[in-house]
Amino acid sequence: MLTLCLKSSKHLVWGLLGIGILATLGCAHDYASTCQELENRNYEAARKQILASYPHDAHYNMLLAEVSYYLEDYDTFVDALSRSLRQSDDYRADLLYLMKLADRELTKKAYDAFTEGDYPTSRRLIDRVLRVRYYLDWVLTPSASRALSVSEMLEYSSESLVNEGRFDEARSRLVHLTADSVRRLNVQERLAFVYYESEQYHHANDLIKNILTPQQGAEGLLLWTDQLRDSDYQTDTVLKVYDSKIRERSLIERPLMDSHLGSSFYMVDDWDNSRFRFERVLLTDPGNAVEFLSLIGESYFLERDYEKAAEAFEGAWVVEPDNEDVVQYLAISRYNLGQKELADSLFAVARTMQQLSIMEPLEYIQPDSTRILLLGGE
């Protein structure tokens, strides 16, 4: 009886070994076949083989992630790679390569969709980017730059919601980011902007006032001055707020604040206030003289004070002789002052800079027509 049992046990062992060998050979055959399908880019056929023939282990999920990426089935891709990472460390290098490809591809598609105004598609793609980046953190050592990029993508996603008028959802996304120390100030300002866009001016102003500390820079104050102006406060109120706060700032920050506030006045055609700020920047921080002299010149140009415009553009040209825009504005200003010969020589200089734009034929156009062409109409 014992002998019979031993013989039966031996047959059982050999039987099990045989089944294991056949299964191994079968898996090897399936893997070779799957690799061949992938090489031939028959991704759908490869996926069918993977789903039908492989045990649900880390290798299976890695292969499923790969084929799903090539089929642009990004939801399955992320699900499969997450399972593979949890099951084993053996395929991290392969998955890292796929995740980097997916991150780049999805980010490009998200930005393209956003640019084209397809905000729902952009947001769906951004959500997938965030899932991929979460698992990139799993593989890579988390870094401030990675956390920063994820926050930026979430902010970008909230912007698409704002463009669709879905302000509550945008606020909800941003509120979750306010604890991020890396991006806290930026997120608070963007959240204030969402309140502003939804015409909840008091919420926007309250939020921005909380940002206004000397340590946090000038950006919060600059946004607040815009809120004040656009919510029917007088310009005088804005200036009083600004002048009361500027004393809290360092000498390094003041030129930055003047330049931003000058730009803000410029955008609402308040030329006198904008020039006053730009001229003060030139006195304290002449490093960006061309930019501010050009803006001063453009403001005079828009007021048709071509003599003062030419004076400002001359100053900018001295600082940066190869600035095509400055030369062209200077040429048009001289032409509008009736100084045709000087204007012709300046147009010639512009041509040597290979700036063959719509401004090239302006030497043959009358001053009023010149202004219409340059400004896009009266």
Q: Tokens 């005079």 correspond to what residue? A: 300
| Residue 275 amino acid letter | R
Helix (H) or strand (E) holding 68: helix 58-70
Give ranges for CATH 1.25.40.10 in the chain: 285-378
Q: What are the structure tokens assigned to 148, written together?
A: 């920063």
d(CA 191, CA 172): 9
- Please tell me what DSSP assigns to residue 141: P
> Residue 302 — pLDDT band, cuts 50, 70, 90?
confident
Tell me the pLDDT tens digit for each residue of 162-214: 566 666 666 666 665 554 444 455 556 666 666 666 666 666 666 655 554 44
Half-sphere exposure of 236 (CA within 13 A, CB side): 0
Buried b (16+ CB within 10 A) or exposed e, 285-318: beeebbbbbbbbbbbbbeeebbebbbbbbebbbe
Tell me the pLDDT tens digit for each residue of 115-138: 777 777 777 777 777 777 666 665
Closest CA to 52 of 25, 34, 78: 34
d(CA 320, CA 142): 44
Whole-number percent of the chain with pLDDT over 90: 2
Region 256-279: mean pLDDT is: 76
pLDDT, position 256? 67
pTM of the complete model beyond 0.85: no
Q: What's the whole-number average pLDDT of the chain? A: 66
Region 46-56: mean pLDDT is: 77
33-140 is classed in which CATH architecture? Alpha Horseshoe (1.25)
Q: Does the domain formed by 285-378 have CATH 3.40.1010.10?
A: no
pLDDT, position 209? 56
- Residues whose CB is less than 8 angstroms from the CB of residue 3 and which lie 6 or more positions away in sequence, other chains included: none
Tell me the pLDDT tens digit for each residue of 137-164: 655 544 434 444 555 555 556 665 656 6
Contact 71, 43 (CB under 8 A): yes
